A = this chain, B = another copy of it.
Amino acid sequence: MMTLIDRAREGVMDPIFQRACAGEDVGPEELARLVAEGLAVIPYNPSRGCARPVGIGQGLRTKVNANIGTSKDQSSVQMELRKLKAAVGNGAHAVMDLSTGDDAGEVLQAVLSHSPVPVGTVPIYHGAVMCRLSGRPVVDMTEDEMFQAVELHGRMGVDFVTVHTGLTRQALSHLVDQGRLTDIVSRGGSIMAAWMIHHDRENPFARDFGRLLEIARRYQMTLSLGDGMRPGSGHDATDRAQVAELLELGRQVGACREAGVQVMVEGPGHVPLGQIGANVQLQKRLCQGAPFYVLGPLVTDSAAGYDHLVGAIGGAVAASFGADFLCYVTPKEHLGFPDEEDVAEGVRASVVAAHVGDLEKGIRSAVRRDMEVSRARRAMDWDAQREAALFPWKFDRVTGMSSQGCAMCGPLCAMRIAQEALGSWKKV
């Protein structure tokens, strides 16, 4: 069986390339070339065949992911479907179901059935839930169970899976050696670290990376190499543990490409604004241009309640440096379990950040949109402003708009005064 990357390399024009380049600056042939070279991915599990496949990577619009999913104490299929709807309805290009409730399998099945966009998961969570349900500590998970969880998700139709393959004993030793303010804040990373320390063994996904590749090939799943060592505070950013993991991920990207498996790389996390550029450049260089999927980044630790905004600051900067895929952060981050309104607000913040990044990347549709809004603003054409806006519904309750000015400034309208005056200057 050929994977998408195999077909792209052999010049077989899979219809997916045509579908995934809708709204992009690149055509299907160029997208196929990017996939062939590993510079872009199209997370797409053919056994499910999601309705709206998207490309993620070089030359493409910056994409937005929304994490949804239950926790042990907050678990409802209906709530997750409402969050899915809120995510997709507000512009998420993909969702990850990170459920860890007792009925995580049922929730994932429902999300896969209803999602028009690619669905990702972190299969190790499944293993953790299984352990909990059978009364075993998480470190009792067997290596087989780890790989079986990945395989199960592939069979269920998941499009991309996060696997923490780079959190090796080498990376861990840097963490222990240097110390950290916030240790490990990746759930998958913490499970892998606990397992490795408990058994005094290497990360099974790293040691037996070939077995992971086989599963990924079999189900045509895109691998999203997780950053288990992502910093949990600005203080810990870009430290040796994080970079040691990234080095390993870079090596594994090469193995994925050899195996014809699509791969992207995950990145932080809590990162001071001034270190974001270095993080993007480092990832792009060490991982040979593989698509970069960042969480936030969060440029301060202190703004709980506004972390969607903090993530939008970091996401906009990351995208402008070349990050390809932004994982949103909701206003509930660091506070509690998000509901559908939190999901909606988080997605909107990331949509803004992605658009800002696209303006810097020179994505034509983004540049055109800003021009159209501004032209409409100058013309005081409110319908045209609404039409070009990222959030047209924000205009619904606006009143007092006219070609003589608007409710914002009243009759003292700079645009109108300037236009009249400049018109007469030009006549002179």
Which residues from chain A sit less than 8 Å from chain B, CB to CB? 71-74, 100-101, 125, 128, 132, 138-139, 172, 175-176, 181-187, 189-191, 193-194, 197-198, 232-235, 270, 272-274, 299-306, 309-310, 312-313, 316-317, 320, 332-337, 348-349, 352-353, 355-356, 359-360, 369-371, 373-375, 377-378, 385, 388-391, 394-395, 398-400, 406-415, 417-422, 424-426
Contacts and interface: CB of A to CB of B under 8 A. Distances in A.
A78 B407 CA distance: 19
A412 B73 CA distance: 11
Contacts of A235: 370-371, 374
Nearest to A332: B408
Contacts of A303: 352, 355, 389-391
Contacts of A413: 187, 190
A123 to B, nearest CB: 14
**Total copies of this chain within the assembly:** 2
A314 to B, nearest CB: 9
Given A304-B391, A317-B317, 10 more contacts: A182-B378, A182-B415, A184-B415, A189-B414, A232-B378, A233-B374, A302-B355, A302-B369, A304-B389, A336-B407
A212 B226 CA distance: 61
A176 B390 CA distance: 31
Contact of A418 (B194, B301, B407, B409): B194
Contact of A273 (B186, B304, B317, B412): B317
A206 to B, nearest CB: 17
A285 B137 CA distance: 61
A389 to B, nearest CB: 6
Contacts of A100: 409-410, 412
A29 to B, nearest CB: 29
A377 B300 contact: no
22 contacts: A72-B410, A138-B417, A139-B421, A176-B425, A184-B422, A187-B413, A187-B414, A190-B417, A190-B418, A190-B421, A197-B421, A198-B421, A233-B373, A274-B320, A299-B356, A301-B370, A302-B370, A303-B390, A306-B391, A310-B356, A312-B313, A336-B400
A185 to B, nearest CB: 5
A191 B332 CA distance: 45
A309 B349 contact: yes
